[in-house]
C-alpha cells in the first residue's frame, strides 16, 4: 500500500463526508423549510394568530432556516433525533428498536446473495453463449427490469399459496428457533435477494468477460490451459477489483429494495418505520430515517470506489 493510494482513499472518504453534508441540507430543506409553516398546519385553519405565534416560538420556527438547520445537524451528530410528532416518543428509541431487525435482514440477504451471484456470474462467463448463459442472463434482465414488489408478490404466490411451503405474509418475525427463523426469513430474503443477485451476476459476468478479452488470456489458452483454468486462475484474480466494486454497488440496491420488501411482508424494520412516518407526515422520524439510509448508501458507494482504487493499478499511478 503506497502513499498515493492512501491519499486517493482519504480524498474519497472526505468527498463522501461532504456529500453526506450536502444530502443532509437537501433533506432538511425538503422536509422542514420548503413545505411551509408546520405550526400553522398542526393547529389547522381556525387557529388564532396568537396561538400560531406561540407554537411557532415553541417549535423554534421563528428563527432563520439556516440556524434551524445547524441545530438539527448538531442534534443528529449528538444522537438527539428529536421527538416523533405523532407518538411523542423519542425518534432515537423507535429507530433503535427497529434498526437491528433491518440490519439482520440485510446481513442474511447478503450472505445468501453474494456467493450465489458470484457463482452464477462466473459460470455464465465460463460458458458464454451457452443455453445456461442465455437463460440466466435473460432471467436476470427480466428480474432487474420489473419492480421489487412484483418479484415479492410472485414469490408469495408460488411458495406460500401454491406450494404452501411458507406462511404467506409473516406478521411476526420469529427468531426463537432456527426453523422458525428460516420460515419467516425465507420469502423476504428470496425476494430481496433476487434483485441483488441479478444485478451482481450481470456485473460479475461482464467483469470476467472483459478480462477474457485481454491478450494474456489468449496466451494462457495458446499454451494449452483449459477454459476453466483460464477463467478461474487467470481472469478471475484480475477481475476481483471490478467484482468487489459490483458487490458494493449492488448492495446499495438493498436500501431501495428493503423499503418495498419490509412493507409487503410487514417486517418490523426501519424502512417500514419510515414509510409509516411518510404516511403520517411525521417529519423528525422521516428526517432521521432518511439520513440513516443516505449514510448507508454513501458508505456502500464509497466502499465500491475504494475497492476500485485498491484493485486498479492504473489508478495508483495517476
Task: Please check whether residue 197 is in contact with residue 116, taking contact to mean a CB–CB distance below 8 angstroms.
Answer: yes
> How far is residue 238 from each of residues 116, 197, 221, 283, 309, measured CA to CA in Å?
20, 21, 16, 47, 13
Is residue 198 a contact point for other proteins (CB under 8 A)? no
The pair phi, psi for residue 90, each rounded to 5°, is: -60, 135
Q: Which stretch binds other proteins (CB under 8 A): 86-94, 235-243, 253-261, 305-313?
A: 253-261
Which of 51, 141, 182, 214 contacts other proteins by CB under 8 A? Answer: 141
Q: 90 in helix, strand or coil? A: strand
Which of 14, 51, 67, 142 contacts other proteins by CB under 8 A? Answer: 142
We find the least distance from the C-beta atom of residue 276 to other proteins, in angstroms, to be: 10
Name the β-bridge partners of 90. 83
**Exposed, middle or buried: residue 50 (CB in 10 Å: 0-12, 13-18, 19+)?**
exposed
Binding to other proteins in span 65-94, by CB under 8 A:
none
Return the number of the residue (52 or 144) whose C-beta is nearest other proteins. 144
Which of 10, 86, 161, 219 contacts other proteins by CB under 8 A? Answer: 161
User: What is the contact mask toward other proteins in residues 208 to 237, using x (rule: CB under 8 A)?
Assistant: -xx--x------------------------
Is residue 256 a contact point for other proteins (CB under 8 A)? yes
Of 265, 239, 280, whose CA–CA distance to 102 is shortest? 265
Binding to other proteins in span 28-47, by CB under 8 A:
30-31, 34-35
Transcribe 23-67 into DSSP letters: HHHHHHIIIIITT--HHHHHH-TT--HHHHHHHHHHHTTTS-HHH
Which of 194, 205, 247, 309 contacts other proteins by CB under 8 A? Answer: 205
Is residue 26 a contact point for other proteins (CB under 8 A)? yes
Tell me 89's DSSP state: S
Is residue 145 a contact point for other proteins (CB under 8 A)? yes
C-alpha cell at 121: 456470474
Which of 86, 168, 214, 228 contacts other proteins by CB under 8 A? Answer: 168
Contacts of 260 (CB under 8 A, 6+ apart): 147, 148, 149, 152
The pair phi, psi for residue 317, each rounded to 5°, is: -105, 25
Is residue 119 a contact point for other proteins (CB under 8 A)? no
C-alpha cell at 99: 434498526
We find the least distance from the C-beta atom of residue 296 to other proteins, in angstroms, to be: 9
Is residue 297 a contact point for other proteins (CB under 8 A)? yes
Chain residues in the site for other proteins (CB under 8 A): 19-20, 22-23, 26-27, 30-31, 34-35, 128-129, 141-142, 145-150, 153-154, 156-157, 161-162, 168-169, 202, 205-206, 209-210, 213, 252, 255-256, 259-260, 263-264, 274-275, 277-279, 281, 283, 286, 290, 293-294, 297-298, 301
Amino acid at each position: 500500500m503506497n502513499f498515493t493510494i492512501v491519499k486517493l482513499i482519504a480524498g474519497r472518504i472526505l468527498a463522501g463526508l461532504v456529500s453526506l453534508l450536502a444530502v443532509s441540507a437537501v433533506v432538511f430543506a425538503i422536509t422542514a423549510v420548503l413545505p411551509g409553516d408546520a405550526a400553522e398546519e398542526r393547529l389547522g385553519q381556525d387557529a388564532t394568530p396568537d396561538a400560531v405565534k406561540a407554537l411557532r416560538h415553541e417549535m423554534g420556527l421563528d428563527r432563520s432556516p439556516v440556524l434551524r438547520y445547524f441545530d438539527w445537524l448538531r442534534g443528529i451528530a449528538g444522537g438527539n433525533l428529536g421527538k416523533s410528532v405523532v407518538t411523542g416518543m423519542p425518534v432515537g428509541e423507535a429507530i433503535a428498536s427497529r434498526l437491528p431487525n433491518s440490519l439482520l435482514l440485510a446481513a442474511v440477504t447478503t450472505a445468501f446473495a453474494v456467493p450465489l451471484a458470484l457463482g452464477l456470474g462466473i459460470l455464465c462467463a465460463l460458458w458464454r453463449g451457452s443455453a445456461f448463459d442465455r437463460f440466466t442472463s435473460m432471467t436476470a434482465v427480466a428480474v432487474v427490469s420489473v419492480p421489487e414488489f412484483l418479484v415479492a408478490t410472485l414469490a408469495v404466490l408460488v411458495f406460500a399459496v401454491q406450494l404452501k411451503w411458507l406462511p404467506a405474509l409473516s406478521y411476526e418475525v420469529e427468531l426463537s428457533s432456527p426453523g422458525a427463523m428460516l420460515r419467516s426469513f425465507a420469502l423476504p430474503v428470496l425476494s430481496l435477494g433476487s434483485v441483488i443477485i441479478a444485478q451482481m451476476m450481470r456485473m460479475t459476468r461482464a467483469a470476467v468477460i472483459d478480462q477474457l478479452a485481454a491478450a494474456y488470456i489468449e496466451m494462457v489458452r495458446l499454451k494449452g490451459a483449459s477454459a476453466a483454468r483460464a477463467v478461474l486462475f487467470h481472469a478471475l484474480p484480475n477481475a476481483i477489483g471490478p467484482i468487489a466494486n459490483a458487490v458494493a454497488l449492488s448492495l446499495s440496491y438493498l436500501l431501495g429494495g428493503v423499503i418495498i420488501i419490509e412493507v409487503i411482508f410487514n417486517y418490523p424494520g426501519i424502512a417500514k418505520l419510515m414509510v409509516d412516518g411518510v404516511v403520517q407526515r411525521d417529519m423528525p422520524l422521516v428526517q432521521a430515517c432518511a439520513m440513516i439510509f443516505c449514510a448507508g448508501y454513501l458508505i456502500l458507494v464509497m466502499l465500491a470506489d475504494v475497492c476500485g482504487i485498491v484493485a486498479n493499478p492504473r489508478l495508483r499511478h495517476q
